[in-house]
Amino acid sequence: MFLSDRQEKIIALARSSGRVLVDDLATQFAVTPQTIRKDLNDLCDAQLLTRIHGGATFPRGTENVRYDARRQIAATEKQAIGVAAADLIPNNSSLFINIGTTTEAVGEALSDHHELMVITNNINVANRLRLIDNIEVVIAGGVVRQSDGGIVGEAAVDFIRQFKVDYAVIGASAIDPDGALLDYDFREVKVAQAIIANARHVILVADSTKFERTAPVRIGQISQVHTFITDQCDSPSIRNICQQSGVVLVETAKANR
């Protein structure tokens, strides 16, 4: 789904306040209520919002947005984050790439690298990188989630533990102000924790919308990563944690100005 500027702003409003109302949006954007209702219907059909009487709400903290819809959120920002992460990964190295639409953007940006060994539990990453001659792809075994092609479960965890790699690229569904990295599926979290434990340099990739979301399962703390790449970080507490913990904070929006 292509999002118009107005629809992107509606999502941002719903994310910040929890819900949006038709009449309020019509006034704010100077359009008819019918136009807003169509916007909300389109966004709800894409599962970016949930319809309620008179408006819509942002998905609750126990629910993740559908995979196809997640790919559309902050797509430009994710692409820039992917390029920045790929720039940190040298040729002739080994790395994990975890599940997520932002980690997939990193996989896309690695297409010009050579002599890489990529171990992943993300079928989408494997399908993309297997076409590149100079990249060896190793894919984890386990349960394949139909929603996004992620491989999860104890078999995937045991597989990951066989390796010790140079780099790991991980994502998170939400980042709390206290630095907690959060996700929705405890099976996915177990794999992410194994990836963190078996990499020499951990790169967290997450766009700034993750500061505004919540999720119920803890992956770990931002202090456990070495580099955090985002489009922009307006959270003083996260900045402070990064500084105190020696985490390198990279903001692609500032780098591109």
Report pLDDT for 256.
62
Mean pLDDT of the chain: 90
Angle between helices 101-109 and 75-88 (to 10 degrees): 50
Residue 10 has pLDDT above 80, yes or no: yes
Report pLDDT for 58.
81
What domains are there in the chain, each with its CATH number?
5-58 (1.10.10.10), 70-255 (3.40.50.1360)
Residue 163 has pLDDT above 90, yes or no: yes
- Mean pLDDT confidence for 224-237: 96
Q: Which residue has the tokens 């951990």?
A: 202
Residue 62 has pLDDT above 50, yes or no: no
Residue 64 has pLDDT above 60, yes or no: no
Report pLDDT for 18.
76
